[in-house]
Chain A
Amino acid sequence: MRLLAMRSGHGEVLIAEGNVDVPQEERELIAAFRAQLDAGMWAAVPLSDRLGQREAQFVRSFEEIPRDAERVIFFPRAAGGG
């Protein structure tokens, strides 16, 4: 699983990468995930449904991430614009 964050002036940045089935790596992924949410980011997991349509799942905790997810994308929390 890779945790990616959108950054101005850069595009996505790799925050963390690891195997959720390896306890130490999972702990590091969880810590990195929480740090991003604590920093005010939103998180979504790109997915494909059973028909092959691409979807996205909002996640608010690490437990909500499908175990087989390849990527979690963090992006700045939306604010009302002008």
Chain B
Amino acid sequence: MPEPRVSVGHYDPVRERRAELRAQALLRSCVNPEEWAMYSQLGLIRVWGRAVGHAARVALDGGAVALYAYLIYPYRPIVAYVPDSTRLLGEYCVAFGDGERGTDRLPPSDDVLAKWLALIGDERRLIATANVHPAGRQLDPVRVRRDLAALAAWERGRGTRPQWPPGSLPDRWPPTTDST
């Protein structure tokens, strides 16, 4: 089947809106219902870190807890943080450029889905690709902590607790591309 030709030479708000609606439908069909609700109501998705090594598994068996997670925003760096303390660990700046020059932006919800797919599918690969910065370089830490508070309140309101997967204990920070 020939691929449809898509001309994106100039900004067309109607086209962009239509594209975003399609992107939202695709995102909703891929992420968990709770994540979709999180995104549609708070504008972000939290993803638990999964770069787990042997040391972390030992720590898990010993009852230690050292969780980390990411916040995914459209067109913003991925923010890593420690849920127990809301301590911000860093910003991971990645771009998913489309077009011949790689400069055309995906619709916002496609940008979120690309980050979600990459983090869930191969966290180490994405983190290895990202430009890493200390927290606060692009996103105001006050705003991020406000978002984290809103997320906590949102979860309390839904009567849900964060479901920390057993595989989310990191052996070191940041996760590296080493196989463990």
A-B interaction = yes
| With contact pairs A11-B26, A17-B1 given, residues A78 and B117 touching in the complex (Cβ less than 8 Å) | no
Contact partner of B19 (CB less than 8 A), chosen from A10, A55, A73, is A10
User: Which residues on the B side are within 8 Å of A15 (C-beta)?
Assistant: 1, 3
**Which residues of chain B have a CB within 8 Å of any CB of chain A?**
1, 3-4, 6-8, 12, 15-16, 18-23, 25-26, 29-32, 35, 77, 93-99, 102, 104-107, 110, 113-114, 116-118, 120-122, 125-126, 129-131, 138
| With contact pairs A6-B113, A12-B23 given, residues A80 and B18 touching in the complex (Cβ less than 8 Å) | no
Q: How large is the interface on A (under 10, 10 to 19, 20 to 34, 35 or more residues)?
A: 20 to 34
B22:A12 contact, CB within 8 angstroms:
yes
A11:B120 contact, CB within 8 angstroms:
no
B21:A11 contact, CB within 8 angstroms:
yes
Contact partner of A76 (CB less than 8 A), chosen from B25, B96, B125, B130, is B96
User: Which residues on the A side are within 8 Å of B122 (C-beta)?
Assistant: 58
User: Which residues on the B side are within 8 Å of A76 (C-beta)?
Assistant: 96-98, 102, 106, 114
Per-residue B-contact encoding for A68-82, CB less than 8 Å = 1, 0 else: 000001011111111
**Which residues of chain A have a CB within 8 Å of any CB of chain B?**
4-17, 42, 44, 46, 53-58, 73, 75-82
Q: Give the interface centre of B15, B19, B102, B116 by most chain A CB atoms within 10 Å.
A: B19
| With contact pairs A10-B22, A46-B29 given, residues A75 and B106 touching in the complex (Cβ less than 8 Å) | yes
In the complex, what's the smallest C-beta–C-beta distance from B47 to chain A, in angstroms?
A: 10
Seed contacts A9-B8, A46-B30; 10 additional CB < 8 Å A-B pairs: A10-B8, A10-B15, A11-B25, A14-B1, A46-B117, A54-B31, A54-B35, A77-B96, A78-B114, A78-B129
In the complex, what's the smallest C-beta–C-beta distance from B162 to chain A, in angstroms?
A: 14
> Please, how many angstroms separate the alpha-carbon atoms of A46 and B22 in the complex?
17
User: Which residues on the B side are within 8 Å of A57 (C-beta)?
Assistant: 121
> Please, how many angstroms separate the alpha-carbon atoms of A10 and B129 in the complex?
26
